[in-house]
A and B are shown apart, each in its own frame.
Chain A
């Protein structure tokens, strides 16, 4: 009996292959977008982790030589004996054949934490690790390159950056010919409380505190957070299709349900059958979705890889492997999505009375009442969103604001459109125009889900586009501030630095010292920079978020300090507050500057004041102003005449070029995701229009019989789609801007402590509008061709008794 009933239910899909395709395709696309974004993010994060995991060098405090060379073995022994829990590292570049790797020698017994997935102190491994011929722990990609060039044993660990190799410190010492010279010392997190001070024990080494992730890393993190939000949106758009299709398929099978039940299939068996059907479908669609998502991600990943390469010098291995957890989450998401979007339909089946006949019109009328309820619900959500935005705190509140805003806007859309169309209908005096608006309004319940999906897709596009563009502009603007000087030099020691100070003024327009000290300010350890505030570079290139009129004069005179946005927001400072600085002096805050991507607070004081209060400040870094055309020549002379290593001279033009390239890549990724999301929405539109075109005939046939040609009717149908599209687009612009605002001003501030200024790009909307228009036209073409070429007999059949 079960099987017989199942065949009756399933035969529906055989009659409606397009509906079936819509359901599977919609669910697959939703899952694909979700898992694709997840894959991109996961892969990107894994690469950051790889880059950052070079012996956790960013997570732990380290001791580094002050003069930049090396630490004698004796110093290490002294510190150990004094009770410091430290581990030595020897590090340097080495060529195996023609393969150059960064060799990092560690002491497996004392090193804190593990290297990658490999724990050097596992018993068997340890013996091999420390004895001849030695072990190199590398990434997969490095292993492939190295294999024929060394007789050392090669082990692969997952989170080692490409081009790096971990080995025993003894091996590294021999290979790099260091003879007891250590590169740095890693300080374990657990230290005895009463350690003797470092500057007494070993004045020649300095402490390098942890947590200084590369500046751009946080900017990129923020970008990925937003990308995740975007992935979620795309998924929601896909679910709209699934919801609509399931609703329709259930509606059309009402008669079958009733027949089955009157033939003695119990309600619970029917529900069970339908559940099984949906779960099987969801499972299959989920599988397809994960595969499409993988494909999408691997298409986009070269961009991501390039992004990372630009940012961290860490490369992502060219191939992407589907991880088991993607399959799992992809399927879970697909199944959960299906259950969520079919719950209402299933519930309706359970409450369906056995005897009343199917009444599609009554159903449509109920939907019209639903539109009014939706309007109300949407309004409540929008108000909630506004209240949360004003009074809420925390990252999850930020996302709640986002969710309420989008869902509220989507829910309100059909109601707003309906009211608008009613107005137009009342305004028009021509019979055909009146009918056009009235008929459009009647289509709303059937199209509302597709329109909501379109709204979400458009809003997500505008929102994310605005966000990324604002990001880019802000970031590049910020680089312009930070990289105002044409060249940046780092001297290797004080001696070289003083030679530089003597040599440079004759060869450049001006020299800007970039000196900083670490110190406790307002209870946090942060960096205090000195700025040559008299120089026009600062006045011209450092736009301030807030500041008094004579900011730079006061900074130059040592009578004022600038703080970055993070410190300002974090400590709730305001202009004029007295800032107590280490060393027992204080200055008032005179200005706030933006400092994107920096996780920590920062203070800027006049360079003279810095040098006066902290005479020991390292004076190694300088910015050099020079006519941009002369910069390459000067760079050349710095290395050839002055003898500074090439990597200690950085010209800002190439830095900026690199950063721009990074953002162009991220643009490519979001651009592609935008197109996919729009594609999903276009598909929702297409399937709704196709479904509607089936029930349209009785609505159109009387108008045709009264003397409107089929061509004109088709034209009107096209106009109708375009009108709805245009209205949705008009609504999507403010919703998208709201979305961008929430992302930039709430989510970002809660997650990272700085606010990105929002920039608006109307030409982007125009492009988006045209793309969406193309999607709308494509979605209407097939249903329209059907209508324009429909035989009169099909229209006439409407009036005949066979209906």
Chain B
């Protein structure tokens, strides 16, 4: 088991009071597996992804991922986990605006200590972003930016890729193209993928699909 959530709960305190978002969730993900996470807006998809990515703390429960008990880790340990074990792709603002595309691609891999120029070159070619390497993020279209984000994530060879609506900001055609590349690349890299999406059409293309509803996995 690459990732397993046991009895995980998460709530937010807001002006209207305590909001229970996730209620004793159990969830498992195998190495190399790809899973789509669906659910209506506000159901807690992103929240779950953030917990799995070590970006946020659960209230209760246990999260075992890539051999670590993340819920028990301190800031430092969770940072190390993000650096070396997961790759995160968000809907937007994935790239570092002050670095050019080439530096962005290798950034995570360098941080993780897994810089591999040959692998990066291959990724760049397969993503079709070779001509963009000297540009800066704000000189790229949304689809191009997401392709770079995927390349950057996979360049670090994480065993687990977490993606939160990576194509949500893109039109259908571009979105499909980006997703194709993402799926084929994670498969060939042997990484597991947990992807949040609103679209059942996209969800169907993954190995498995789980649905969040009322704080539970249905």
Contacts and interface: CB of A to CB of B under 8 A. Distances in A.
B23 interface: no
A96 interface: no
A701 B96 CA distance: 9
A200 interface: no
- Interface-centre pick from B84, B95, B107, B168 (highest chain A CB count, 10 A): B107
B83 A435 contact: no
B206 interface: no
A792 B88 contact: no
Given A702-B95, A709-B79, A431 B46 contact: no
A361 B93 CA distance: 13
Contact of B56 (A435, A796, A800): A796
A702 B110 contact: no
A432 B109 CA distance: 11
Contacts of B81: 707
B107 A435 contact: yes
Contacts of A441: 98
Interface in B8-58: 12, 46, 50, 53, 55-57
A712 B12 CA distance: 26
Nearest to B75: A709
B98 A431 contact: no
A637 interface: no
Given A365-B138, A707-B80, A709-B79, A698 B91 contact: no
Contacts of B168: 801
B147 interface: no
Given A442-B98, A699-B98, A801-B168, A707 B93 contact: no
Nearest to B103: A434
Contacts of A801: 91-92, 165, 168-169
Given A434-B103, A707-B111, A801-B165, A792 B56 contact: yes
B50 A706 contact: no
Contact of A431 (B90, B94, B106): B106
Contacts of B96: 435, 438-439, 699, 702-703
A705 B103 CA distance: 17
B157 interface: no
Contacts of A703: 96
A543 B68 CA distance: 80
Interface in B99-126: 99, 103, 106-108, 110-112, 115
Given A439-B98, A441-B98, A701 B93 contact: yes
A351 interface: no
B7 to A, nearest CB: 21
Interface string A346-382: 0000000000000001100100000000000000000
Contact of A698 (B76, B97, B110): B97
Contacts of A792: 50, 55-57
B164 A799 contact: yes
A431 B55 contact: no
Contacts of B84: 707
A795 B96 CA distance: 14
B97 A442 contact: yes
Given A431-B106, A431-B107, A706-B108, A711 B94 contact: no
A438 B103 contact: yes
B50 A435 contact: no
B207 to A, nearest CB: 25
A471 B53 CA distance: 65
Contacts of B91: 799-801
B82 interface: yes
B151 to A, nearest CB: 14
A708 interface: yes
Contacts of B92: 799, 801, 803
Given A706-B83, A801-B165, A430 B110 contact: yes
Interface residues of A, number: 34
A432 B46 CA distance: 27
Which secondary structure dominates where chain A touches chain B? helix
A703 B108 CA distance: 9
A504 interface: no
Contacts of B82: 705-707
Contacts of A365: 138
A803 B83 CA distance: 25
A41 B106 CA distance: 61
B167 to A, nearest CB: 12
Contact of B55 (A362, A434, A712, A796): A796
Contacts of B112: 707
Interface in A695-747: 698-699, 701-703, 705-712
A593 B49 CA distance: 83
B91 to A, nearest CB: 6
A123 interface: no
A705 B75 contact: no
A365 B99 CA distance: 14
Contacts of B115: 431
A793 interface: yes
Contact of A438 (B90, B98, B138): B98
Contacts of A705: 53, 55, 82, 88, 90
A587 interface: no
Nearest to B111: A431
A430 B112 CA distance: 11
Given A431-B106, A707-B82, A702 B94 contact: yes
A472 B132 CA distance: 62
A707 B83 contact: yes
B93 A698 contact: yes
Given A434-B99, A438-B99, A702 B80 contact: no
Contact of A708 (B46, B57, B111): B111
A219 interface: no
Nearest to B74: A709
A653 interface: no
Contact of B93 (A435, A442, A803): A803
A798 interface: yes
Nearest to B153: A706
A792 B112 CA distance: 21
A709 B103 contact: no
B46 A800 contact: yes
A440 to B, nearest CB: 8
B93 A798 contact: yes
A725 B165 CA distance: 41
A435 B99 contact: yes
Contact of B88 (A432, A706, A708): A706
- Interface-centre pick from B94, B115, B169 (highest chain A CB count, 10 A): B94
B111 A432 contact: yes
A712 B103 CA distance: 21
A699 B97 CA distance: 6
A703 B91 CA distance: 16
Interface string A482-511: 000000000000000000000000000000
A701 B115 CA distance: 22
A356 B111 CA distance: 39
Contacts of A707: 79-84, 111-112
A355 B79 CA distance: 43
Contacts of A432: 111
Contacts of A709: 75-76, 79
Interface string A550-580: 0000000000000000000000000000000
Nearest to B41: A801
Interface string A778-797: 00000000000000110110
Given A431-B107, A431-B110, A792-B50, A799 B99 contact: no
21 contacts: A431-B111, A438-B96, A438-B98, A438-B99, A698-B93, A699-B97, A701-B93, A702-B93, A703-B96, A705-B53, A705-B88, A707-B79, A707-B82, A708-B83, A708-B111, A709-B75, A710-B75, A792-B55, A798-B93, A799-B164, A803-B92
Given A707-B82, A799-B164, 12 more contacts: A431-B110, A434-B99, A434-B103, A438-B98, A698-B93, A699-B97, A705-B82, A707-B111, A712-B79, A793-B12, A796-B55, A800-B91
Q: Which 4 pairs from chain A and chain B are nearest by CB? A: A707-B83, A431-B110, A799-B90, A707-B82
